[in-house]
């Protein structure tokens, strides 16, 4: 994992290079899934889940016009904040840390974040934790209490409460429904 907080601000890659890098990563994951499907379907499933997650994130990023609104965050700030959140879901993430990464005051950052992402920092972090929990429920046999801790939630009850609010069902039921679909 790179230390995003200590890096100097760098301009983002040109769009073509960025697209080629993303396409190559997705192609490699899909090739790996193709090879593993017969030998190790769990590994293939993990590769497909990762490819899907990358693709969804990129589609959301490219189709979301909110980032272009006046007063939002610059592209490099959005990329750094996203990366930091995804790399640190296992622990508490403070808005002050995110504002330091974006090189903004906490108040200005919070307003700019909401313009860029369409939700406050805390709501975004909770959503990413739940997405991470969904990914782990599909790709691992870890218990729900282990998954809750892995994505930075205090315990299984906390995961269950947030999951019910977001998806209208318990994580155990959600997982069972998907296990039936994939077997």
% of the chain beyond a pLDDT of 90:
39
Buried b (16+ CB within 10 A) or exposed e, 11-46: eeeeeeeeeeebeeebeebeebbeebeeeeeeebbb
Does residue 149 lie in a domain region? no
Does residue 47 lie in a domain region? yes
Domain of residue 42: give its range. Answer: 14-63
What's the pLDDT score for residue 76? 86
Helix (H, G, I), strand (E, B) or coil at 93: coil
pTM, two decimals, is 0.63
For the chain, what is the domain count? 1
Distance CA 123, CA 146 (A): 22
**Site of tokens 């218990």:** 143
pLDDT in tens, 27-75: 777 777 777 777 777 777 777 777 776 676 666 666 554 444 446 888 8
Distance CA 2, CA 80 (A): 11
Q: Taking the CA atoms of 91, 7, 83 and 1 in sequence, report the sign of the dihedral they define.
A: negative
Does residue 45 lie in a domain region? yes
Output phi, psi for 170, to 5 deg.
-75, 155
Tokens standing for residue 10: 């760098």
Does residue 181 lie in a domain region? no
pLDDT in tens, 119-144: 999 999 999 999 889 889 988 899 99
% of the chain beyond a pLDDT of 70:
74
Does residue 44 lie in a domain region? yes
What's the pLDDT score for residue 6? 29
Does residue 40 lie in a domain region? yes
Does residue 114 lie in a domain region? no
The number of residues making up the chain comes to 183
Does residue 166 lie in a domain region? no
49 vs 3, 34, 77, CA distance in Å? 26, 13, 26
């Amino acid at each position: 994992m790179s230390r995003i907080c200590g890096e100097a601000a760098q301009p983002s890659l040109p769009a073509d290079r960025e697209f080629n890098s993303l396409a190559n990563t997705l192609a490699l994951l899909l090739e790996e899934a193709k090879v593993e499907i017969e030998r190790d379907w769990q590994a293939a499933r993990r590769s497909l889940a990762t490819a899907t997650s990358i693709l969804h994130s990129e589609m959301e990023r490219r189709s979301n016009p909110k980032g272009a609104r006046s007063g939002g965050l610059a592209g490099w700030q959005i990329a750094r904040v996203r990366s930091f959140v995804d790399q640190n879901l296992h622990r508490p993430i403070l808005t002050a840390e995110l504002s330091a990464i974006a090189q903004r005051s906490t108040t200005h950052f919070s307003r700019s974040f909401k313009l860029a992402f369409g939700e406050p920092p805390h709501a975004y972090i909770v959503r990413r934790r739940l997405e991470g929990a969904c990914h782990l429920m599909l790709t691992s046999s870890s218990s729900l209490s282990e998954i809750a801790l892995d994505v930075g939630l205090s315990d299984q009850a906390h995961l269950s409460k947030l999951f019910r609010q977001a998806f209208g069902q318990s994580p155990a039921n959600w997982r069972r429904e998907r296990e039936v679909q994939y077997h």
